[in-house]
Structure 1
Amino acid sequence: MVQFWDHIPDNLIAWIEKQHMFFVATSPLTGDGHVNVSPKGLTGSFHVANKNRVWYEDLSGSGVETIAHVRENGRITVMFCAFAGPARILRLFGRGTVHEFGTAEYDALVPPATRLSGSRAAVVVDVYKISTSCGYAVPVMDYKADRRALLQWSDKLERLDAQFAADRTSCPSEAVSRTSAVLPVRSLKWWWAAHNTRSLDGLPGLHRAHVVDRVPRGVVRAGRDEPPSDGTVVILGNRVPKAGLGQRAGAWVLAVGGVEREEVGRMMLAFSVGVLIAAVWVRVVGGAGC
Structure 2
Amino acid sequence: MGKIFEGIDENLKTWIQRQPMWFVATAPLSDQGHVNISPRGHDSFSVLGPNQVAWVDYTGSGVETIAHIRENGRVCLMFNSFDDRPRIVRLHGRGAVHLPGEEIFEKVVALHPEHPSTRAVISVQLTRISDSCGWGVPVMEFAGERELLRLQAEKKGAAGMEEYRAQKNSLSIDGLPGLPASM
TM range (shorter): over 0.9
Given residue 7 of structure 2, which amino acid in structure 1 is its aligned partner? H
Shift of 1:190: 0.3
User: More relative contact order in 1 or in 2 (CA 8 Å, sep 6+)?
Assistant: 2
Aligned pairs (5 A) from 1:76-155: 76-111=75-110, 114-155=113-154
Q: Which residue of 2 aligns with 1:18?
A: 18
State how many pairs are aligned.
Answer: 183
Taking the aligned partners of 1:112 and 1:49, their CA distance within structure 2 comes to 10
Identity across the alignment (%): 43
Shift of 1:104: 4.2
Partner deviation per Cα, 1:79-105 (whole Å, 9 max, x = no partner): 001001310000000110000234444
Which letter does structure 2 place at the counterpart of 1:29? L
Q: Is the 8 A contact 1:101 1:119 kept in 2?
A: no
Q: Determine which structure has the larger strand proportion and give its number.
A: 2
Matched, 1:31 2:2: no
Q: Which residue of 2 aligns with 1:198?
A: 171
Deviations 1:213-241 (A, max 9, x none): xxxxxxxxxxxxxxxxxxxxxxxxxxxxx
SS in 2 for 1:11: helix
Q: After superposition, what is the alpha-carbon deviation per residue over 1:100-151, rounded to whole angstroms, capped at 9, x for unaligned?
A: 2344442232249833220100000111111100000100001111010111
Pairwise mapping of residues 245-256 of structure 1 onto structure 2 (< 5 A)?
Answer: none
TM-score normalised by structure 1 residue count? 0.60
8 A contact 1:58–1:121 mirrored in 2: yes
Please state whether the residue corresponding to 2:98 is helix, strand or coil.
strand
CA contact 1:67–1:205 (8 Å) conserved in 2: yes
Q: Give me the whole-angstrom Cα distance separating, in 2, the residues matched to 1:211 and 1:22.
A: 29
**Structure 2: which 5+ runs fail to align?**
none
CA gap 1:113/1:24 in 2 versus in 1, 3 angstroms = closer
Structure 1 segments unaligned to the other structure (5+ residues) = 162-186, 213-290
CA root-mean-square deviation: 1.6
The 3-state SS of whatever aligns with 1:68 is helix
1:75 maps to a residue whose letter is R
Q: Aligned to 2:182, which of 211, 214, 226?
A: 211
Distance in 2, matches of 1:14 and 1:201, equals 37
Letter of the 1:9 partner, please give it.
D
- Kept after mapping to 1: 8 A contact 2:56/2:108: no
* Contact 1:23 1:39 (C-alpha < 8 Å) held by counterparts: yes
Shift of 1:67: 0.1
1:56 corresponds in structure 2 to: 55
- Distance of 1:127 and 1:204 partners within structure 2: 24
Q: 1:220 matched to which residue of 2?
A: none
Question: Is the contact between residue 77 and residue 94 of structure 1 (CA under 8 Å) also seen in structure 2?
Answer: yes
Larger Rg: 1
Equivalent residues of 2:46, 2:108 under 8 A apart: no
Residue 20 of structure 1 aligns to a residue in which SS?
coil
1:8 offset after TM fit, Å? 1.6
- Residue identity in the other structure for 1:7: G
Does the Cα contact within 8 Å between 1:62 and 1:196 map onto a contact in 2?
yes
Indicate conservation of the 8 Å contact 1:7/1:128, yes or no.
Answer: no
